[in-house]
Amino acid sequence: MGRVAGVSAAETRERLLRAAADVFAERGYDGSRVADIAVAAGVTRGAMYAHFGSKAELLVCALRTHGGRVLAEMFAAGRERSATELLTVVGRGLPRLRDAQGYLLVEALVAARRDQNVAAPTGHYVSERAEWLGDLMRAAQARDEIDPALSPNALAHLCLLLAMGSALVTPDLHAVDDGDWAALLTRLAAGLVPGRHHSTDRNTAVKLLINSGLCQGHGRCYYLAPDLFGDDEEGYGQVLGEGAVPDDKEREARLAFANCPERAIDLLEEVSHGGP
Ligand code: SF4
C-alpha cells in the first residue's frame, strides 16, 4: 500500500479523500486531474493508485466521506427522530447554502450521466440511501406515525428529491422565506399521518390532553404543532387553551400525537350526534 513517510496508510487515504473532495468541489469532475489531487494530498500518483483505482472511484469515495451532508445528516438524525420529524427538522435546512463539499453529490450525479464508471457506484450510493429511507418509512408506518396507505418507496423518493434537488436549486438561484418553508413542511408532514377513522354521519370533535406524569419535555409537540402546544417554564409540553382542536389543525394534532416519544399525548375524539 502506498505510504507517505511517517504517515499511516489510513491517514494517507484520508488525505487523498480530503484533497479529492476539495479539488472536485472547486473544479468539477471533468476539470479535475488525478495528478492535481495527488499533489494537493502531498502524495505521489503511485501512492494514490495504491489506494484508489480510478478518478471515478476517488469521486464516489470522497462523496461517501465528505459530501452529501444533507443525506448524511438524515442518516444520523434518523436514528433518533421519527420520519415526519426528520422531514420537518432536516427539511428546514435544505434551502440554505452549503459548503463547497456539500455539492459533491451534484458533481457525482452530473458525471454519472456521462461516465459509466461513475454511474454504477453513484447509483449504488443513491440506492443505499433510498433503501434506508424506505425502511424508515415502513418502521414509521408500523408505529402508526405514517398512513400505511402511502407507498414507503414513494415517500423515500420524495425525500431523495428534496435532498438532492436542494443541492441544485441553491438560494442564489431561488430563495424561499424560512417561515413559509417551515410552515409548508409541517403541512406536508401533517398530511402523512393516518387520518381519523369515523363514519361521515357523525360529528367528531378532537381534543388534546397531555399526561404530565409521562411528559419528559422532549418538545416535539410544540415544535411540530406550535398552534396547539406550548411549553411551561421547564420545557414540559402543555396544550394551549382547553385543548380543543380546530378542524383545520387536526392533522397537526395527529402529527404531534404520533411523534410524542413518551406517548404522553391523548387525542380524544368526542362524538356528538347532533340534529334530529
Ligand atoms: S412531545 Fe410528549 S414528552 Fe415531549 S413535551 Fe410534548 S408531550 Fe411532553
C-alpha cell at 152: 414507503
Ordered by where they begin, the domains of the chain are 9-66 (1.10.10.60), 69-192 (1.10.357.10), 203-272 (3.30.70.20)
Query: What is the separation, in whole angstroms, between the first and last Cα of the chain?
Result: 86
C-alpha cell at 230: 406550548
Ligand 1 pocket member 3 (CB < 6 A): no
> Does the pLDDT at position 89 exceed 90?
no
Nearest Cα to Cα of residue 190 among 162, 163, 226 = 226
Nearest Cα to Cα of residue 30 among 100, 106, 101 = 106
d(CA 249, CA 255): 10
Is the pTM for the entire model greater than 0.85?
no
Nearest Cα to Cα of residue 18 among 52, 63, 77 = 63
Half-sphere exposure of 158 (CA within 13 A, CB side): 16
Q: 140-163, pLDDT tens digit by residue?
A: 888 888 888 899 999 999 988 988
Ligand 1 pocket member 69 (CB < 6 A): no
| Closest approach atom of ligand 1 to CA 219 | 5
Pocket test for ligand 1, best of 88, 145, 208, 215 (most atoms within 8 A of CB): 215
Ligand 1 pocket member 38 (CB < 6 A): no
Residues 6 or more apart in contact with residue 122 via CB below 8 angstroms = 60, 63, 108, 109, 111, 112
Highest mean pLDDT: which range of 1-10, 98-107, 190-199, 243-252:
243-252
Q: 167-200, pLDDT tens digit by residue?
A: 888 889 999 998 889 888 888 888 888 875 544 4
pLDDT band at 78 (very low <50, low <70, confident <90, very high): low
Judge contact between 122 and 58, C-beta under 8 A: no
Torsions phi, psi of 247, nearest 5?
-50, -45
d(CA 210, CA 266): 6
C-alpha cell at 132: 434506508
Torsions phi, psi of 244, nearest 5?
-70, 135
Q: What is the pLDDT of residue 23?
A: 92
Instruction: Please report where in the chains the cell 434551502 appears, as a residue.
Output: 95
Q: How far is the CA of 3 from the centre of ligand 1 (A)?
A: 53
Q: 217-269, pLDDT tens digit by residue?
A: 989 899 889 999 999 999 999 999 989 999 888 888 988 988 888 889 998 88
Indicate which residue's Cα is closest to atom 8 of ligand 1. Answer: 215
Q: What percent of the chain has pLDDT over 90?
A: 33
